Each structure stands twice: as structure tokens, then as C-alpha cells.
Structure 1
């Protein structure tokens, strides 16, 4: 029997924090939601096993993710003719695809069958950047689906803030939005009710500025007769850099290590020694050692079950490593996310002891099955007992009936929005980049933003559009036909899948010098370790070599440092997101309509659309 809490165990967001002087600056008592005990007897003996099932970065993928989004690496093969350990290998992918909430729910239920003492937890980004089936209803369907699969606890991630923190609180606590019954292709509470999450949404390091008040509970304590386990939930402290500024105005995002460590003595004072951190920050596996049939070693891309004890490793620059190294040794395990990577690794705690850190990729394609042995005399988890493994969510099991019914319900409700054909394309328009980082789909989106009349207002029309590459989430595929439309026809659902954030377009004034500064920020500052190449509109062009900016032109003329140019972008970038703080220096900021509406209108006006040459961004 799966342990569940009752509704009386819920705690609304906004609990006031008070504790020791250290905890006062971070989080504190009263910021917890505590589960009721299970009604079964405690297992005999001094020790018994507890199962944790975990996943992360679900992103509203109710239906099975398609294409590469539904695949994971399961093995490797030598390239044809390979004879030496330095030869090239190829990845073997899951042949039938993985993921889909109907299958995830079934796999989790089957995993619990032989484990009475079981909890299901998550590490954030359960909502946001979701397919239209969920996004069209403000992700209410995803919360309902997670309730149905019996999720117990989740940390918030950065995408939980996509529609602002007040909307996140509604996700946790329920209620409806008066959004005009489908205005802007969204419709809250189409059947007039939304009860919110049955699980505990945790945000220990997110407080209202100038106060010690968390926007959601900091932790939850799950009681199983004599066993008590605390879960601390956090998002990455850099969330303000990667979400729309207006949605988190008035909030502070505290350091992850300081936040969790301040809670440890508080939990111990409540008699809780077993502590698990759910954190929306993660790592990236480096190359994995793989052996061919002759036992020759090769360095290959990591597989879904990459384990640091079995030839895999985390890149030493992974953000989760210093966090794990700094978290109090009293914390028994770390369940992470954000990077969409699969791994099961041990990282040394400050006492030099191994501590398990896991991540289950993304989109519901994996879950992590962890066994922890609980010692009743010590009231704690035996650290050396913790064993974890990532498990594929295969599609060869029966679909969960409740999830199937939920999907069918929302597919009917979304059909009028999703199936509308908005334009035609003559071939695939994708995110394959030229050496400089320019993509055909980036060109299309930037051109659509430049052409959008809603951003003109009292100002001159923009002459440059800048689009962040991370906001382009899928390709436009010529052969796609989700609703029976002809090849090349683009539906609103396809367009929404490309741009699922419902960002607003913003026009603003920047000098030529500021625009060049933005271009340099693509490979410096927050982006020094991984370039973010902004996609640009027709007529604007530049070159670069390494981290040196070359010529920058507009309609063939050099950009003048002192000239003011009207630029259009989305509100995420306009708020300084993705490591582009120069946007915050802009003048005459004016908000237009939604980016998806501009994209749809441009496709309608330019059908059939054919991709052009990639000659706007040049690598010298």
C-alpha cells in the first residue's frame, strides 16, 4: 500500500519563518507540511527498507513524447570498420520510445506492489514549457495527472515560475483563473473546477523580498509509524536569470546550501534525522567508459542507466557537485533535476562520506528506484544502504486507466485550438545550426517578431529582433499530421510546441554599443561556459571568431555605437534572462502581444514558407 497524506496535512503557501538567527535569514519552522502515518504496523526488527520513486523535468508531457524526445541511449555500437579503441562509436536508442504519463503511472504502481513503504517524489519543472494539451489549460491537466499517479512531494523548478509565482501558488492550492474562457488560446477550469495539487509543492529557498516568508512550504515530514523522513525542496538559486522577471518580482532566491543546512537543526529538534533534498539543479554526465565484445574500452555518450560506479562520471563543472559537497552530512540523499540528464552517482559530503545523487532525465521517460534502509533505533537512514537505479518507462505495459481518461478529456477540449491550420511550410524548418549558431527556425521566429504590429505602439517599428535559442523547443516537420492535416500544413498545436511559453513581445530602445554588448554576452559572463547564440531577424548580421565580435551590420551598414535602434524581443530576454543583463538598460520599453500569436500570424501571411540561406551569423 502506498503511503498517502490526508487533506488535513496540507499547508498553504506563505508560512512565516522563525527560528535560530541563521535560520531566520533563510527558512524556518511552520514552513512544513507533515504527512499522517500509514495505518499498517511497523515492520518487525530494528531495520526495514523504504522505497523512493523519483523523477524530474516532466514538463507536462502527458502524451508519449515523440521523435528524439521519446528516446534514450541504451547501448553503443562500433562504427562500421572500427578496429581500434579510438574509433567512433554510435549510440543505440530505445527502439519503441519511452515516456507518457499513462505508462509512467503504470510503472510506478508496479514498482510499489512489493514495497509497502514507498514514497514518490520529484525534483521540479513538472509544469511549464509544456505541450499544448497541458499548456492550453495553464498546466491544470498535468497537476491532475500527477495527483492520479500518486505523487507525494515535489520541489519547484524554474519553469514552475513561467506564469508567475501567484500562479504557482494556485497550482499548489487550487482555484480558477478568469481568463476569458479561452482568450489567448488558454482556458482555465474548462469544467469549472481545479482543486490543485494533492502532493506537497516545496520552495525552501524562495522568500518574499525583505521577509522570511516562503511562498510555499520549505519542507515536509512523512511519517510511517516509527519512521520519519523529511524532504527539503528547492529550486536553483539562479532561477531569476532564467525566468521572466515580472513573474518573480518581489521574490528572493536564497543559496541552496545555506538554505538546506539551516533547516537541519530545526528538523533534528523535531526528532527527524532522515533527510532527503529535492533540488532543481543538476549535473551533466561526462563520457562513459564502454567495452566492446573484445573488452576494449571506449569513451562514449552516457546511457540512461549511467552510474558513477560503472564507468560513468559527472562533468567536474556540474553545478550539483559543489552543492552536494556543501550540504550537511546529516542529509542522506539528493534527488536532482534541471539538466534533463540521467545519472546515479555518489558525491562526497563535507565529512568525506559518499552520498547518493540521482537524476531521471526528463519528460517522464525514466524514473529512479531507490532503496533506503531505515534503522529504528537511530531513527535514521543507513547511508551505506542507499541504492538507486534508473528505470525506463517503456510502453509495453498496460496504460493507466485514470490517466487515459484524463488525456481523452483534454484532447476533446483542446481540439478546436490545436487542430486549426495556421499556415504551410515547403520543407522541415528546424534547429540545425550553421557554424555560427544560426538556425532556420530561429530566423523564422525572429522575422515573425520583427513583423508583429502589436509592438509598435507610440514608437517607430523595430528594425532588429533578437530571440533566445532556449525558447525554441521543437522543430516544424513537413510530414507531421497530428490532426489529419495535409503534409506541410502547420497547426496551432505544432506552432505552440515550438514556442510554448506564452511570452509577451517587447519593443525597446538600445544603442548600437549596447547591442554589441549583448552580442558579447552570448559567450561571456553567465554564458562563458556554454554559448547562447541569439537568433536574429533579416537585415541584421554579424560575425565572430571564438569570443571576439567582428563586423555588425544592419541592412549592410555598420551598426553605429551612438545610434539608437528599436529592438523587439520577448519579455524573458527584456527582463535580463539567460545572462543578457544589458537588456535592463533599455529605454522606452513597450509591451505587445504574445509571441505565439506573432508566430502564427507570420506563418499565415507567408505561406507556403520556405527556409532561406543561413547567412546572418557567421563564424570566422
Structure 2
């Protein structure tokens, strides 16, 4: 699957790394890259707290924002006109309202403005399904989000950059749904960028949107392409992978050897000819070495970018050296680029009026999303889910922690705006109500610890009136006890009406029981709409939402 680019068409690459001794001579070429991952539609700067090597105290700055990112790229392009800007997925999806309310079209346009050449897909590129991903690439207004698509400019022409997905296969055609790779020619050197998404993407994406797709092993998908690419005269291979890891090392440590997580076995399986892996997904900043390969990631939200230098033998096309550093994109460090700043101002102006509309008053200035067994915001959203499901007979509601993007913040007089509600629930999941037996509900609760996935997902959040206890000292499958609904023990043989979002209803997040629910009612009510309706009702009843319940709903026996 051949796709070739020439840098004169894209104006994308970056300068040699400051402070690094040049290894280039007439026989070698220095190729400079900038890598961005997990932007998640963050067009504006947000708070970022960090500490680098040798820094005892953390700093908190406003970082990112397309105007400042563009300013940094402009400065770096001034030092190397052959600049390649590349991505590692999740450029859109789970986005702030400024982007999400327009089907993320402003972010796609902003990435074009930045000069992005290629990016792997991430799992969030599939949030709205295959059809929407292909629309975002190719353009058009036929969208599963008709209330948002083409509403910003009245038309949408698609992305100028290329999405890559070497390991996402159409089950019928047995071919990738998007190009597997892109070849760029820079300074006489051919570079192949190969893109993949995590093979477990199907576990974190709504099943209905990816029906008929298969997500294969990342390393296998990459390795099988190399013979084809070598025939094209390529000797330099860069993997853009939406999969990540973690390390206790600082974001700018060169080069850590303690990277852990799902990315590590993938890198170890890659062909030795691959010297650079640009990663994402875990929202960590790192520069690490795994089996002689440099593995980078630049946190998320545009807070930092990775500056990478490849030294390539021009005769063989092989990489002889690779180095990198992560740079925090703090506001004030780079002058905003005028065109990007003007575009951001336009997006803000068109969005502010709608987003600023007041919804309702809450009891506190902020309702927090935490990593505890239950959180104030988890309780609130579960209660809102139950509230919206009551007309369909709902008795119990569950909410997955990953479906809550960020804290629910209020403005003056503790009034929540439409934009603040959208920032909390940006996924546009819909409400589904179904019948489950008591035994099935018990199984759902026990499945929270299958293969210790609770460490990744967090416990399901529960609606008011539903409680249980658990003891992790007990064997798997027998950890839950004292399950009560309104003070009455759950009956394994009885049937209960359960409300969840459409993501959970399809059995995602490794809860297959939800997909077996009967008498299903897909209400079509969006998550943010059920939240705002609940907030309005509580405010009207003069009992603003947001206070912690008097008694915990989940009790751990220690």
C-alpha cells in the first residue's frame, strides 16, 4: 500500500537538537522530527504540573494551545526548513467542548494549520465509529453526529494529513481500512512512517462503531511491511504507535531504562532495523531505550512535544544515530503564531455564546472525579443516569469511570454552564436501560477484578440506594457481599431494570454481561443531556447536586 510524500508539499521537519554534537558529514543526513500525541482536541492551553531532571520542586504552568504550539513549530522550522511534524494518535476524541461541539472539525483544521504530516489512529479516533473516522479523513457531512458535523463552517473538506492504521483490518476485505504507512523523502532520504493502534482497542471502543473491524498484533503488523518498504528503497523506519508505558523517570531524562507497560513487549518484537518508536496512549512523558530502540512519548494535551533527530547514512538509508528531548510548550516561551492565534480566536468567538449558557446551580464549586472506589462525581453521574432511566423503569444505574472525562466545575454562584457539563461528559454516549437478573448483577460486580483490571479501570460507580461490600482477600469470583437495593438484599433469581451508557451496554470495558441484558431500551438520551436535566431538577427542588452521600455506596472490608 504505497503512499509517498515530498517535504516540499508539507513543510514539515525540525531543527537539530540544541546542545547535541553533530554526527553528520557529507555521507549522512540529519532528519529532524517533532512528535505530538494525545492532543484530545485541546485547542487551548491548560494547566500542566511537572518537574524535570534536577528539579526538586514541581512547576505549574499554562501549556499547549494551538497558538503556542504553532509558535514553537515556527521557531524550529526557522532553524530547519525540512520539518516533519508527526503524531501518535488520539488527536481528537474525549475533547473539550470547544472542539467536541463541532464534531472535532476545528481540531482537524488546526492540525492542518500546524502542518501535521501523518499520525497513527488512536482508540479515541474510533469513539464515533468507523464511518466518522473515515469522514474526518476524507470530508463530507454524512455523519453519525448530524447535530455537530459541518456546523462550524457549513462544510467539511477532510484532513490534509494522513491517518495510518497498519493493524486495523476490515474482516471482509482483509485489508487495512486506512493506509498502513506513508513514505516521506527528506534530504534525499526515504523515511517510512508506520502507524498502529493498540491491539486491545476493541475493549475500550463502543462495539457498534467498529463492527466488522479486527485489531491485530501491533508488532506483527509493522514487521510484515518491511520487505515491501525495502523494495521501495526505504531503509529508515519510524513506528507511530498508539500504545504506551510508564516509568518513574522524569519526562526529560535521557535515556531511561526502566520503561514498563504494554508498549515494552511490542517494542521487543519489532525488527531490529527499527530504531525509533513514537508512542502515546498512557499520557506520560518519557525518553527511554528498549532493546536498543528509542521510545518516546510527549505527555498529552499539547503540553509538550518530542524533538527527535535521526542521523541517516545517505548511501544505505539506514539510521546510524537517534536522539531526542521532550520540550514543555509553556505559554510565554514561544510567541503565538498569528494565523493559529486568529483561528483560535474565531473558534472561541463562535463557541462562547453556546457554551456559556447556564444550566443549573450545584452545591459546591467543583465536584471531583477521583481514583477512590467511589468519587463525588461518579456518584452524581450515576444518579443522573438513574434519573434519566426512571421513565423506562430503571432501578439501578452503573457508570464507568473512564466515561467521566474531568471534574465538574462551576462558575459564579456555583452555576454550571453547558460547556462545563460537556467537558465532564464529552463522549455523546446514549442511555440504555435493560433487564439483568440479580445473579448477572453480582457477576458484573465480581468482574471488576478479573485479571486485576480494576487497577486500570476503577470500580463502576453506583446510583443512590445500591450498595455492596468487597474483600480482596477472598478468591476471585467471591469478593462481593451484602449487595443491597434500597436496604433489601439482591435476589439472584429476580429481574432488575438497569441503566448504563451505550458504551457499557455493548459489553465494553470487559463487562460482557451488559451485552446480554434483555428488554433493552436504547433511549437515545445523550449522557450530557441526562446530566444537565438532573442538575436542573435538583436545582428546581432546591437540593443542588454535588454533595457527598451520607453513607458510602461501596465498602471495602480490610
* TM-score, normalising length: structure 2: 0.91
- Partner of residue 206, structure 1: 168
Inter-CA distance 95–508: structure 2 relative to 1 (3 Å threshold): same
- Partner of residue 155, structure 1: 120
The answer to whether the 8 Å contact 1:506/1:569 transfers is yes
Inter-CA distance 226–610: structure 2 relative to 1 (3 Å threshold): closer
Distance 2:501 2:302 in 1: 29
The answer to whether the 8 Å contact 2:28/2:314 transfers is yes
The answer to whether the 8 Å contact 1:38/1:223 transfers is no
1:429-484 Cα shifts (integer Å, max 9, x gaps):
4335585x11111111111111115x75xxx5110100000111111234x3xxxx
Q: How does 1:572-611 map to 2 (within 5 A)?
A: 572-592=503-523, 593-607=525-539, 608-611=544-547
Distance 1:76 1:257 in 2: 35
Inter-CA distance 531–410: structure 2 relative to 1 (3 Å threshold): closer
Inter-CA distance 117–582: structure 2 relative to 1 (3 Å threshold): same
Question: SS of the counterpart of 2:555?
Answer: strand
Distance 2:309 2:286 in 1: 16
Counterpart among 136, 142, 145 of residue 101 in structure 2? 136
Q: How does 1:458-607 map to 2 (within 5 A)?
A: 460-478=392-410, 480=411, 486-525=412-451, 527=453, 529-530=455-456, 532-546=458-472, 548-592=479-523, 593-607=525-539
Distance 2:271 2:86 in 1: 21
The answer to whether residue 240 in structure 2 is matched with residue 278 in structure 1 is yes
Alpha-carbon deviation of 1:520? 1.4
Distance 2:180 2:370 in 1: 42
The answer to whether the 8 Å contact 1:74/1:92 transfers is no
More off after superposition, 438-447 vs 106-115: 106-115
More off after superposition, 491-500 vs 519-528: 519-528
Q: How does 1:140-219 map to 2 (within 5 A)?
A: 140-177=105-142, 183=147, 186-219=148-181
The answer to whether the 8 Å contact 1:63/1:100 transfers is yes
Alpha-carbon deviation of 1:37? 5.4
Question: SS of the counterpart of 2:61?
Answer: coil
Distance 1:416 1:452 in 2: 27
- Partner of residue 344, structure 1: 287
Alpha-carbon deviation of 1:237? 0.8
Question: SS of the counterpart of 2:293?
Answer: strand
- Partner of residue 297, structure 1: none
- Partner of residue 20, structure 2: none
The answer to whether residue 87 in structure 2 is matched with residue 122 in structure 1 is yes
Counterpart among 345, 350, 355 of residue 293 in structure 2? 355
Distance 1:532 1:226 in 2: 50
CA-based RMSD of the aligned residues comes to: 2.1
Q: Which structure 2 residue ranges, 5 or more long, are not aligned?
A: 12-23
Q: How does 1:231-246 map to 2 (within 5 A)?
A: 231-246=193-208
1:307-348 Cα shifts (integer Å, max 9, x gaps):
444xx7223xx0000000001112221000000001100100
Paired residues in the alignment total: 532
Distance 2:169 2:452 in 1: 23
- Partner of residue 252, structure 2: 305
- Partner of residue 49, structure 2: 71
Distance 2:226 2:80 in 1: 28
The answer to whether residue 367 in structure 2 is matched with residue 430 in structure 1 is yes
